[in-house]
Structure 1
Amino acid sequence: MREKLLIGRLIDTGSPVHRLDPRAKMTAMLLYAVMVMAARSWIALLCLTAFSVLIMILTRIPLRMYLKATKPLRMLMLFILIVQCLAVKGGSVLVAAGSWHLDSAGLAAGGYAVMRMGLFVSFTAMLTFTTSPGQLNQALEGMLRPFERAGIPAERLSLMTGIALRFIPAILDEAQTIMKAQASRGADLRELPWKGKARMLTALLVPVTVGAFRRAEDLTASMESRGYRIGAPRTRYRPLAWGQGETWFVGAFVLMCLVVIWIGLN
């Protein structure tokens, strides 16, 4: 189960993108989200796709890994496509069957939605492929630090995010262990019908949830025994450093964002 989840996994290839400051990559991710929402034409989406593929190539990670990252959401993307095709009417009629008909506007709206979702998920995978959870946690704390005067607890939020990222693989491993134990007793998930699979997965939630709370209690006791305190002064083993490469990287995203917005306005 853990091997099927690619988002959140670090794939270190030693590329220039891997060596960038994580704050630059998180800033680029925010700009990319703006670009995805601002892309309202096929020309803008194609330009954004070409830019995304270029950044992915710079990571030296095979493109098939980014395609695999969207696999868990393919059924959701198909559902969104179907809903858009059924709900949006307009343009020319492409297919007609009785009272139902598929219009070009509905197909275009579905294509926009699916392509946007695919690009966003793939680029989110790029962020996690090139940045370790510890670096993401440190970058989030650094970016939220200026907002502490507004009452936003930067260290607390970054700690919660870091613990959540580390708990995901642990919970998946525990769920896989329980499923193997159930399969050894004759309850193989692959051989059950759909109703049986639903009941088995529902029953799986209870031990997984109990295990997650047990891990949380153990982690709390461990942190308290080591004297961890929120707000205590501490140093960093690898302090963040913003250089010229980070400026060029973020600048490229700013320029692409302006291009996408300009295409949308014309």
Structure 2
Amino acid sequence: MRSKLLIGRTIDTGSWIHGLDPRAKLTAMLVYTAAIIALRSWAALLLAALFSLILMAATRIPYKYYAKAAKPLRLLMVFIFILQVLTVTQGEVLLQTGLFSVSGGGLSAGGLAVLRMALFISFTALLTFTTTPGRLNQGLDGMLKPFVRLKLPVRRLTLMAGLALRFIPAILEESQRILKAQAARGADLRELPLREKAKMLISLLVPITVGAFRRAEELVISMEARGFVLDAPRTEYYEPSWGVRESGFVALHILLLMVVLLLP
């Protein structure tokens, strides 16, 4: 199960994107998200797709890993496509069946929605593939630091985000261990019909939830035993540094956003 979920895993290839300051990657992701939301035409979509493919190639990570990262959400993409096709009625009607009709505008809107979601997932995968959870948490802390003046609990938020990223593989390992235990007792998930498979997955929620609470309690005890204080001043193992490459990386994404906004 863990091998199927790639988002959240770091794949170090030594590319220049891996060495960027995490604050630059997070800033670029915000700008990229705005560009993906703003695009409304196929020309803008093709431009964003070409831009994304170039960035993926620069990471030296094979494209198949990005495809695998989007694979767990394929059912959601299909649902979004069907929803758009059935609700958007602009353009020429291609098919009419009872209460529902399929139009050219619905097909175009469904394709745009699915590909927009695929691009967003690909950049999220790029961010996690090229940044370790520790550096990602450090970058998030650096970006949210100005909000300390507004009395926002920045350290608490970044600590929660960092722990959540570290809990993902632990919960997946626990799920895989429970599935193997059930398979050893004769309940193989791959051989069950769809209804029984759904019941079996629902029955996994209780032991997985209990295990997550147990791990959280053990983590709290270990942090208290080591004298952890949330807002205490501490040094960083990696000192963040913003240079020309970081500025250029963010500027490329701002340029993409401007072009997308200017396209008709």
TM-score, with structure 1 as normaliser: 0.97
Q: 2:163 — aligned with what?
A: 163
Name which of structure 1's ranges 172-181 and 90-99 shifts more when overlaid on structure 2.
90-99
Distance in 2, matches of 1:37 and 1:229, equals: 40
2:133 maps to amino acid: P
Name which of structure 1's ranges 5-14 and 92-101 shifts more when overlaid on structure 2.
92-101
Q: 2:51 — aligned with what?
A: 51
Q: 2:223 — aligned with what?
A: 223
Distance in 2, matches of 1:98 and 1:229, equals: 64
2:20 matches 1:5: no
Distance in 1, matches of 2:113 and 2:201, equals: 30
CA contact (8 A) 1:144 1:152 kept: no
Q: CA deviation at 1:57?
A: 0.8
Distance in 1, matches of 2:231 and 2:151, equals: 14
* Distance change (3 Å), C-alpha of 1:262 and 1:198: same
Q: CA deviation at 1:191?
A: 1.3
Distance in 2, matches of 1:207 and 1:236, equals: 37
2:211 matches 1:211: yes
Alignment of 1:32-43 (within 5 A): 32-43=32-43
Q: CA deviation at 1:96?
A: 3.9
Distance in 2, matches of 1:249 and 1:189, equals: 45
Q: Deviations over 1:6-55 (max 9, x none)?
A: 10010000000000000000000000000001101111111111111111
1:221 maps to amino acid: I
Distance in 2, matches of 1:27 and 1:118, equals: 20
2:180 matches 1:180: yes
Q: 1:66 — aligned with what?
A: 66
Q: CA deviation at 1:185?
A: 0.5
Q: Deviations over 1:78-116 (max 9, x none)?
A: 111111111111211223446643110110110111011
Q: 2:86 — aligned with what?
A: 86
Distance in 2, matches of 1:142 and 1:210, equals: 33
Q: 1:195 — aligned with what?
A: 195
2:145 matches 1:153: no
Q: CA deviation at 1:256?
A: 1.1
- Structure 1 residues without counterparts, runs of 5 or longer: none
Q: 2:107 — aligned with what?
A: 107
Q: 1:24 — aligned with what?
A: 24
Q: 2:243 — aligned with what?
A: 243
Name which of structure 1's ranges 196-205 and 158-167 shifts more when overlaid on structure 2.
196-205
CA RMSD of the aligned region, Å? 1.0
TM-score, with structure 2 as normaliser: 0.98
Aligned-partner SS, 2:3: helix
Q: 1:134 — aligned with what?
A: 134
Q: CA deviation at 1:66?
A: 0.9
2:30 maps to amino acid: L
